Chains A and B, each alone.
Chain A
């Protein structure tokens, strides 16, 4: 009898706990509205919002390949499964047409959908919560004046338990802190502006800060290098492995133009970011560069040493490697592949071509901790952003076999960096081929 009562009690506690969990696991729904008339928004606010969506890169995730802008549907591969971006055009049924400004503000600042369900932090509200009320209102004005597009985002393919949105409530308790970013009176106005853009709308840390096993950014390794779409997002702090130390001016040109000598082009997931920053007010890009420049700090002695051109300091590295005569001509001869496929564009010949690549001694991807980005660049090449008349690097996915690519990567690492040999290049390449196919 006593046992039965105890069991019943336990069951009661469990039920109460579940009820409480599902209660906090959902917020109240906000009433649906009829889409407001575009004319009801002030033109100046809409224009300000247009600037802010570029700073926030909303278009990048919320537009699928060859899809309508902001109509969503783009797959985002996460360690937990695939999440599809949603339609944020003001379509009544499939977009955010029925969202009041209050519902939009809650989504941005608290990560809650209009119907009260929690949003996955793949939507970086941990950053957007830092954005000012005024900026969020301008964003709302911009989005609600877009052409409505009827497009239902595909269902996320997240296995149980990640498929349960109620769990996000627990995630938020552990990792999410709501609230606008306070400006730091000890910093200049420009650095404060940079911090606001980088930590808020720009959500740079979403890719450039490493995440823990539950997908939360590790704040003690802020901007210490993360990942994005199978690419490595390099460290932007003192852990940067860039062979040439970044200066604030270089950061500005890179972010503004998508290219700066000697670092090279913004490639992979960074390309659309630089594309957006090419179209916003210049002082904002300067502020971002100043803030990142302050975080990356002055070059360490090691990295200062690395700016010396190889070959001039008696190091084993050679600026213009030639095929090793002693090696037999096999089908996976990294040096010969470099000489026949890469050197023509990547070495200065004295001739002025429009299509020169950077010298590989200053290549960021060859000094990175793993070969992911180099594999992506070799496989996919680098295509200039839509309709821009710039040189492209052709992709070699169909040209080189796996053995040839791993031989080339090992050779490039040896010849153009002073970093230790990469391990498991085969596995790195296999994954890069897979993510290249999925995109």
Chain B
């Protein structure tokens, strides 16, 4: 039995210690935001946050995440109340097939939690780990810039920050 802290909630999971976190999220907990892309740590579709840092959930056995903070797409917001990164991806229409986008959002969220004002160079270097086969990279980059801007103005203005979360 492993106790996982996912999006602020504690969840009990009965699985083998070596089971990839991705399988537990999707198959046991019904959290389908993280996607199975290559299963070999090459594409980034399965990216989630572990203690605020982007990790590849397909190559992360649950034994190493027990008791640590996990954030998935579902923790960033919902369709009705998208979080700032999700809102920015919608505003920029940064998707074609959309399969890579949950991973892209979590990768971007990880960057913005650590560095609220990344340079273009830093955004590109950071996002480099995630692949998009449709080629929407320019829109994805625009979405990350927009999210960074939105999150900075939200922190600068507490009233708007309240708005953004509602």
Contacts and interface: CB of A to CB of B under 8 A. Distances in A.
B50 A345 contact: no
Given A331-B66, A399-B50, A404-B64, A340 B18 contact: yes
Given A323-B17, A399-B50, A329 B63 contact: yes
Given A66-B121, A336-B18, A392 B42 contact: yes
A11 interface: no
A355 B42 CA distance: 8
Contact of A340 (B20, B66, B121): B20
A393 B61 contact: no
Contacts of A345: 40-41
A44 interface: no
Nearest to B61: A340
Given A394-B56, A399-B55, A400-B64, A333 B42 contact: no
B50 A323 contact: no
Give the interface size class of chain B: 20 to 34
Contacts of A392: 41-42
A330 B56 CA distance: 21
A10 interface: no
A313 interface: no
B136 interface: no
Interface in B24-39: 38-39
Interface string A382-418: 0000000001111000111100100000000000000
A349 to B, nearest CB: 11
Contacts of B2: 329
Contact of B67 (A331, A340, A398, A404): A331
A29 interface: no
B7 interface: no
26 contacts: A66-B121, A323-B16, A323-B17, A323-B18, A330-B63, A331-B63, A331-B64, A336-B63, A339-B18, A339-B61, A340-B20, A340-B64, A341-B60, A341-B61, A341-B64, A353-B38, A391-B40, A391-B42, A392-B42, A394-B56, A398-B50, A399-B50, A399-B56, A399-B59, A400-B64, A404-B64
Given A329-B2, A345-B40, 16 more contacts: A323-B17, A323-B18, A330-B63, A331-B64, A331-B67, A336-B18, A337-B63, A340-B17, A340-B19, A340-B59, A340-B64, A341-B61, A344-B59, A355-B40, A392-B42, A394-B59
